[in-house]
Structure 1
Amino acid sequence: MTYSLTVRDHIMVAHSFTGEMFGPAQRLHGATFVVDATFRAAELDADGVVVDIGRASEALRGILSELSYRNLDDEPQFRGVNTTTERLCSVIADRLVDLARDGGLGGAGLNGIVVTLHESHIAWASYEVAL
């Protein structure tokens, strides 16, 4: 059995893609994503939580604030790569993993983090990291 806790936020970005498969999305366009970060643990900690909801929410907000309201094409960390929904999931998840490993989220015994970006009510992508 696994417990999970999810916090939600959003980002608004501008970006473009390279490659014929992207069609009109090769041009600069905007995207708004609803972002879910799910934290998983086999057991609850001594306080009965997976992670502290407030700390998890603040951590997600902090990570997203570094991406939101930016043209990702201009960001050095994304130079030469397509900032697809899938790639953004992994970037956010990896940053949350770093915070979790440093003890910044509270809780104990995390065994996974999943980040899901919802492009719309009919399309989304996720990236899962085992800890």
Structure 2
Amino acid sequence: MTARYTMTIRTEFAAAHWLRDYDGPCNRLHGHNWKVDVEVDASGLDELGMGVDFGDIKAATREITDGLDHRNLNDLPPFDRLNPTAENIAAHLHGELSERLNDERVRVRAVTLWETDRACVRYTEDEPA
């Protein structure tokens, strides 16, 4: 059996958005203090005995979220054309993190984006065939 480790970090950012074509109050500009949980799988340990350094996961996540922090997401690519729903934001974060972190041993497993303390979306992708 192959060992698998899952490391998880949490960070946050504050940003505004509004939902295009939404029939309700979220079609007006409003903001959230978004929380982001990032789960990264490692199929083994490195020479130091780590799956992935938590600091590396945090740094990659902050690199992305710093560009979103205290901004109107509707003004930023890809959300200037893609509706900035929690689902689309989570998928975007997952894709950006995968580009930075994935290699032959490490894979971003999931991104959970908390819009409020009681509402979140978890984005994952199927295992490659």
Q: Hey, what does 2:119 align to over in structure 1? A: 123
**Alignment partners' CA distance in 1, 2:107 and 2:11:** 22
Letter in 2 for 1:19: D
* TM-score between both structures, scaled by the size of structure 1: 0.84
Letter in 1 for 2:123: Y
User: C-alpha root-mean-square deviation of aligned residues, in Å?
Assistant: 1.9
Q: Hey, what does 2:27 align to over in structure 1? A: 26
Percent identity over paired residues: 32
CA drift of 1:48 comes to 1.9
Work out whether 1:87 is the aligned partner of 2:88.
yes
CA drift of 1:73 comes to 1.4
Unaligned runs of 5+ in 2: none
CA drift of 1:113 comes to 2.5
- Contact kept, 8 Å, 2:97 with 2:108, in 1: the verdict is no
* TM-score between both structures, scaled by the size of structure 2: 0.85
Q: Hey, what does 2:106 align to over in structure 1? A: 110
- Contact kept, 8 Å, 1:11 with 1:68, in 2: the verdict is yes
Letter in 2 for 1:68: D
Secondary structure in 2 aligned to 1:70? coil
**Alignment partners' CA distance in 2, 1:65 and 1:83:** 17
- Which structure has the highest helix share of the two? 1
Aligned length in residues: 125
- Contact kept, 8 Å, 1:7 with 1:37, in 2: the verdict is yes
Any runs of at least 4 consecutive aligned residues in structure 1 with deviations exceeding 6 A, and if so which?
none
- Contact kept, 8 Å, 1:16 with 1:73, in 2: the verdict is yes
Secondary structure in 2 aligned to 1:5? strand
Q: 1:53 to 1:20 in 2, by over 3 A?
A: closer
Report 1:1-131 matches (<5 A).
Answer: 2-21=4-23, 23-101=24-102, 109-129=105-125, 130=127
- Contact kept, 8 Å, 1:12 with 1:30, in 2: the verdict is yes
Letter in 2 for 1:59: A
Unaligned runs of 5+ in 1: none
Post-superposition Cα deviations, 1:20-65, rounded to whole Å, max 9, x if no partner, equal 44x1000111111111111012322332222111111111111100
